[in-house]
Amino acid sequence: MKYLEWIDGGVTAPAGFKASGVHAGVKSSSPPDKLDLALIASNVPSVAAAVFTRNAVKAAPVRLSMERAANRELQAVVLNSGNANCCAPNDMENAIAMSDAVAQLLAIPSERIAVCSTGVIGQEMNIGAILDSAPKLVRSLGRESSHSDSAARAIMTTDTVKKEFAVEFELGGKPVRIGGIAKGSGMIHPNMGTLLSVLTTDCAISAELLDKVLRNAVNESFNRISVDGDTSTNDTCVILASGSAGNAELTLDEDYGSDSWKFEDALCAVCAKLAIAMAGDGEGATHLITCVVDNAANERKAESIAMSVIASSLVKSMIFGCDANWGRVLCAMGYSGETFDTERVGVTFSSAAGEVEVCRGGRGLPFDEALAKTVLSEHDVTIRVSLNEELEPGECPMCMCWGCDLTYNYVKINGDYRT
């Protein structure tokens, strides 16, 4: 999308937003330089939309934020790492206490604050550390890129890199920005993964349209990644729109105008960047896997098959071992629940090191094993699956999903995660 310019600043890039991240000591064992408490705040009450985990077990912060986001107006999001505040003693009381403390310091109603937590399930929150750090958290708010950086780092758990992006584009001659931060490394699988994501924009947009485009963006990004097949209890993706850009308000009108499409495309681009960063930073991962399924009868079928492939433990293990055992790809396709003609299927592996076709018409092809190993040894590996179904002229439905390999370190990280 040529009209998008990637910029610095994350959640503080859009006008009207500040952020901060500080060390509270949520986990007593965390080092003093580990940021673990974050805040993103708008100067004004903002239009809001949010998407949450579909896990039947929902953490207290999720249940609280679902209730508040339903009002479609928020002004701040407070987040902590180090404790999920889920199925724990006093969980709801502690979630409310977090928002009340920040609300008092910001002089806004507590009902305008969403709460997010991530960490170990079932352990009581060290709420004292959070409440004691709330004044420092609010004093540290700022509009510089460094403030978004601190917030992005404060929500990291087993993440090895921060996830933070922002874009700028024009609507009606006015510069509009969207920024986002996210965390996610393990327990990643739709819907949505153990991810926390806060998105901000200065676009003037109605609540109804914001809700629609956020759900579309999540479905095309966060819901198309898988690290380990586990869906978290704490998934939250929330967006705040300050309206400070000065553009004519975007609304959910009948023709869904070009400016609305442009905003949705930009939001999808930011969410996709965050999602791919999460897939590539999967716990213990050494490869980012992209599965492209094309020449399918429709996008839904392509998505279902692509997700089945990147979620397969055998495919993940194959990529970890740099072994072109392509039969595992067809196997994963076969239990996707979709119907397709095996004898039309083609499979190709590619990376920066080259490309090797391994299957055509559902049958294996002779290929250079040494080249295949070289191709699969790169960090970014693509599995392209062509269904070669009969399509209308000019049509080529496809879908792209992302995952990572399954390594010894994944088991090591999660074998002693709590202790």
Sequential DSSP letters for 169-206? EEETTEEEEEEEEEE-SSS--SS--S-EEEEEE---B-
Is 67 in contact with 74 (CB distance < 8 Å)? no
Planar angle of CA 248, 250, 255, nearest 5 degrees: 120
Residues 6+ apart with CB under 8 A from 103: 76, 109, 110, 112, 113
Is 403 in contact with 282 (CB distance < 8 Å)? yes
Q: Is 194 a catalytic residue?
A: yes
Q: How many whole angstroms separate alpha carbon 213 and alpha carbon 47?
A: 13
Structure tokens at 211: 């809700």
Instruction: Please report, in angstroms and rounded to a whole number, the separation of the first and last CA atoms in the chain.
Output: 46
Is 163 in contact with 183 (CB distance < 8 Å)? yes
From the number of C-beta atoms within 10 Å of its C-beta (0-12, 13-18, 19+), residue 255 rates as exposed
Q: How many whole angstroms separate alpha carbon 366 and alpha carbon 269?
A: 38
Neighbours of 77 (CB within 10 A): 30
Structure tokens at 95: 């979630």
Is 42 in contact with 33 (CB distance < 8 Å)? no
CA 102, distance to chain mean position in Å, is 25
Sequential DSSP letters for 98-118? HHHHHHHHHTS-GGGEEEEEE
| Identified catalytic residue from 53, 118, 194, 236 | 194
Closest CA to 161 of 182, 145, 140: 182
* 140, amino acid identity: S
Q: Which residues are catalytic?
A: 194
